[in-house]
Amino acid sequence: MNALLDWLRGPRFDDPELNERAAVINFTLVLGLGFLSLLSVLYLTTPQLRMATLTLLPVFVILLASKALLHRGAVGAAAWLPVGTLVLAVTPLSFMAGGYDLGLPPIFVLFALMGALMLGRNVGLFLTGWAIAVQLAVYGLGSSDEWFILDADPFTILVAVTIAQTSMIGFVVSWVVGRLRDEAARARQQAKSLAENQILLEQSVREADAASQAKSRFLATMSHELRTPLNAILGYSELLLEDLASTAEHEDVERIHRSGTHLLSLVNDVLDMSKIEAGQMHLDLELVDVPGLIQESIQTIRPVATERNTTIHVDVDSTLPLLWLDRRKVRQILLNLLSNAAKFTENGRIVVKVDNAGGRLGIAISDTGIGIPSDQIDRLFRPFEQADNSSRRRHGGTGLGLTISRHFAKMMQGGIDVSSTLGEGSTFRVWIPDLSDIAHATSLQRPRVAASR
């Protein structure tokens, strides 16, 4: 029984495309054998068609031979053997024996259907047309005096109608089956193309990730190497500023220190961005005195604001408690936002409002500066971009400050948004929750107050 089931299932091949084609051919051959078996039973139970059963035996032999070829791996030969038989064997047999008397029309339909399944729609349509032509020719030669259907006897009319019906069925079935087969082939080709494109896409993503990681490592290394001598330069310049406080060279040394500080901030931005992209940036949580940190940040930015005749006003909630935060990252966010407000505001004011609504730190920094066009707001948080890239040339900066600030806020489970009116000013809002749960979960050691009130 198992052997019979294996024989009916057909062979299996390593090549998926060949295996699929063999499965279709095997299905067609098994279908043909089943159809012939039912047809044999029908002929044997019909006295007028009993002799026609003999015409089915060669067809059985042909289909079994095709099945044997398929099991031996000759897939192409197994498909073409039944088709070639139609032209080389069944057609002459029809002319020699008077086709409709032998019941050959259903066999023509069978061959047309098998041709469409195994070799495509065009082959199936060709075989159907060939079958129609052969049957008409056989009918005309065998009954030349009964070409006109109205003058024929009832049995001749029945045979003629059978020929027409089976031919039409063969044509329709061949077209439909062939169309389905062609669509299946196109679907397989599309699936194969999609699979290949998916492989190429995954490879490109891996290569892009590797290139990004390499770039980030390079930037981190170079930024570190640049920052070390810059810190030394700044340290020496601070000593010189103290020693040359009352000399003419003091202004030159101060310019050196200011330029070095600016360059160090640019290097720090690049280093932070490279760490973020490389996934090497981590939280360092501690108890932070937020009002003290706000004042410290404002004192750092105040000289820039004063130089541009801009005042800074602070409104801090006096009940704000100590919060578990990453002090360095919060300070960096404050410095970036305050620096932008000072750079783009002249003869105006900056307002810093801090509250603790619902246990969440909220910081709003508003200015009366030049504002941001509504169509440029989406670009603000992209790396190396500013609302107007020409402003980078006028005001300096890498275009990384807001990108880094948003990353830092997200790392602390918060966020940043902005609202702005061109010519009237902008407001940046930062919200960061108290991270005490994370701090306790990571078993931090004794808390330390980051800044004093």
Tens digit of pLDDT for each residue in 78-136?
A: 878 877 776 666 666 655 555 444 445 566 666 666 676 677 667 767 777 776 676 66
Rounded CA-CA distance 106/110 in Å is 6
SS3 (DSSP) at 443 = coil
Distances (CA, A) of 356 to 318, 321, 323: 10, 8, 10
Q: Report whether 347 contacts 367 (CB < 8 A).
A: no
Task: Specify the residue for token string 């439909």.
Answer: 176
Tens digit of pLDDT for each residue in 127-184?
A: 777 766 766 666 555 544 444 444 445 555 555 555 555 555 656 666 666 666 667 7
Tens digit of pLDDT for each residue in 289-347?
A: 999 999 999 988 898 899 899 999 999 987 888 899 999 899 999 999 999 999 999 99
pTM of the model: 0.50
Rounded CA-CA distance 178/118 in Å is 9
Q: Which residues is 361 bridged to in the sheet?
A: 356, 432
Copy the structure tokens of residue 295: 């004042």
Tens digit of pLDDT for each residue in 10-55?
A: 788 777 767 777 887 788 778 778 877 887 887 778 776 676 677 6
Q: Report whether 169 contacts 161 (CB < 8 A).
A: no
Copy the structure tokens of residue 181: 């087969």
> What angle (nearest 5°) sits at the alpha carbon of residue 166, between those of residues 85 and 83?
15
Q: Report whether 370 contacts 310 (CB < 8 A).
A: no
| Burial degree of 38 (CB within 10 A; 0-12, 13-18, 19+) | exposed
Identify which of 448, 415, 216 has the alpha carbon closest to the alpha carbon of residue 333.
Answer: 415
Rounded CA-CA distance 405/222 in Å is 22
| Interhelix angle 16-44/154-243, nearest 10 degrees | 160
Tens digit of pLDDT for each residue in 381-420?
A: 877 665 554 544 455 556 788 888 999 999 999 999 999 9
Rounded CA-CA distance 11/33 in Å is 17
